[in-house]
Structure 1
Amino acid sequence: MKPQDIIREKSSLWIFGYGSLVWKPDFAYRRSKVGHIKGYKRRFWHGDDFYRGDKEKPGRVVTLVEDEDACTWGVAYEVTGSQVEESLRYLNVREVEGGGYVTAMVEFIPREKGQGALSALVYIAASDNPIYLGPAPDREIAAQIAICRGSTGHNAEYLVRLADFMRLCCPEVQDEHLFAIEYFHVDKHSDLLTFFLLNCAPQI
């Protein structure tokens, strides 16, 4: 589904973020909801050679991998009116052109009780993407994150902010992959992590 097709069909749209979008959407929106989608697991399997890394040392950022038994928590943002076109134009540059992501529609389930499921747009990096890095042991992923930096900042900041979001907004959820990588990072790079904890407070 191309962004221009979505614009033609929608006067309002929900956009689901599960990576940096949970703390840094960088587009205007009407409201947001914390919640999850089913059938996908979040993994640090995608490469980033611009925002959180470079050509020589690509960082690792998250994508979604299909798994019928899994669910992924994040934030859905509702955009309306002119915000639809503006947000999609921005995300097309940030996620599609710059990150190699493609779009899909998913069912988003808000965390709030009594809230019905919503149809939401999501960006996913597939394994045929040129900068897709694929699976690796959690310890190796943590080591790679520790040495990468891009135009937006250190790759470790991305890891810390995402883990902080989960603890703050989804405290009952155990994201084993995310927290294992954070654990190995803390074990080897506690000074760097302390810096980010002190200077990169969650902005939810």
Structure 2
Amino acid sequence: MKKINEAIRFNRFDDLSNLEEVWVFGYGSLIWRPVFRHSEKIVGKINGFHRRFYQSDMTYRGTPEYPARVATLLKDPTGKAETYGCAFKLFGKNEISAGIKYLNTREGENGGYSLIVEEFHSCERSPIPVLVYTATRENYYFTGKQPLEELSDIIANASGLTGPNTEYLFRVAEWQREFLPLVEDDHLYELTRMTKEKVVKIEK
């Protein structure tokens, strides 16, 4: 973990491709649509974070005129929160280099996310260090806390280059229901319910 932390801290991303393997954590659209090459995928969680739809998106699911809302992670001061998703294994120089380059462009340059390193926990193996793209409160796209009523209105109406904002939200909720049926997530599931109601009204 020390080598990964140092590479990120000093923006030496080429150093990551010299490692045998690097793991990346996905908690939004990556869990159902990982568009980079990877050698392995594991379902699990990181601790100490809440997933919240407090990040605006003006490219993939929205526009500059009507920004969408996508997921980011907020640090839980109690440390008790859990966010579930997938860890993707990038193996070998070519896979690591291509994956990190793609994600840095998509999540960093275009999305306002920053890289951190956290421990990923699963039933399949011991904890492993993962790269996590998360948006700080200081980034341009961070919206801050918004009522679910307001968020559901935005998501029901936003759309961008890769499709409607509703697809992003609904697919995340569907994935978690399928793979983690015993895990409750009030923010995700209540937002999904309210957004579906808004969509029905729009379609009428």
User: Deviations for 1:168-192, whole angstroms, at most 9, x for unmatched residues?
Assistant: 1111101110001011112222377
Q: Which amino acid aligns with 1:149?
A: S
Q: Structure 1 runs of 4+ off > 4 angstroms?
A: none
8 Å Cα contact 1:36/1:111 also seen in 2: no
TM superposition shift of 1:8: 5.3
Q: Helix, strand or coil: the match of 1:189?
A: helix
Q: Which amino acid aligns with 2:121?
A: I
Q: 2:170 aligns with which of 160, 163, 167?
A: 160
Q: Which amino acid aligns with 1:151?
A: L
Call closer, same or farther: CA 1:111–1:180 in 2, change over 3 Å.
Answer: farther
Between the two proteins, what is the percent identity of the paired residues?
A: 38
Q: Which runs of 5+ in 2 are unaligned?
A: 1-7
Q: Which amino acid aligns with 2:40?
A: R
8 Å Cα contact 1:142/1:184 also seen in 2: yes
Q: Which amino acid aligns with 1:97?
A: E
Q: Which runs of 5+ in 1 are unaligned?
A: 194-204
Q: 2:152 aligns with which of 142, 149, 168?
A: 142
Correspondence for 2:21: 12
TM-score, normalising length from structure 1?
A: 0.89
Q: Helix, strand or coil: the match of 1:127?
A: coil
Q: Does 1:109 align with 2:118?
A: no
Call closer, same or farther: CA 1:3–1:63 in 2, change over 3 Å.
Answer: farther
Q: Tell me the number of residue pairs that the alignment of Structure 1 and Structure 2 aligns.
A: 191
Q: Does 1:63 align with 2:111?
A: no
Q: Helix, strand or coil: the match of 1:76?
A: strand
User: Deviations for 1:23-57, whole angstroms, at most 9, x for unmatched residues?
Assistant: 11111111100000000010000000000100011
Q: Helix, strand or coil: the match of 1:43?
A: strand
Correspondence for 1:201: none
- Aligned equivalents of 2:114, 2:195: Cα separation in 1: 29
Q: Which amino acid aligns with 1:38?
A: N
- Aligned equivalents of 2:116, 2:14: Cα separation in 1: 12
Q: Does 1:83 align with 2:108?
A: no
Q: 2:52 aligns with which of 43, 52, 63?
A: 43
- Aligned equivalents of 1:69, 1:31: Cα separation in 2: 28
Call closer, same or farther: CA 1:23–1:106 in 2, change over 3 Å.
Answer: same
Q: Does 1:72 align with 2:77?
A: no
Call closer, same or farther: CA 1:150–1:172 in 2, change over 3 Å.
Answer: same
8 Å Cα contact 1:33/1:111 also seen in 2: no
Q: Helix, strand or coil: the match of 1:69?
A: coil
Q: Which amino acid aligns with 1:170?
A: L
- Aligned equivalents of 1:51, 1:162: Cα separation in 2: 16
Q: 1:99 aligns with which of 105, 108, 111?
A: 111
User: Deviations for 1:149-177, whole angstroms, at most 9, x for unmatched residues?
Assistant: 01010000101100001101111101110
Note the aligned Cα RMSD (angstroms).
1.6
TM superposition shift of 1:111: 3.8
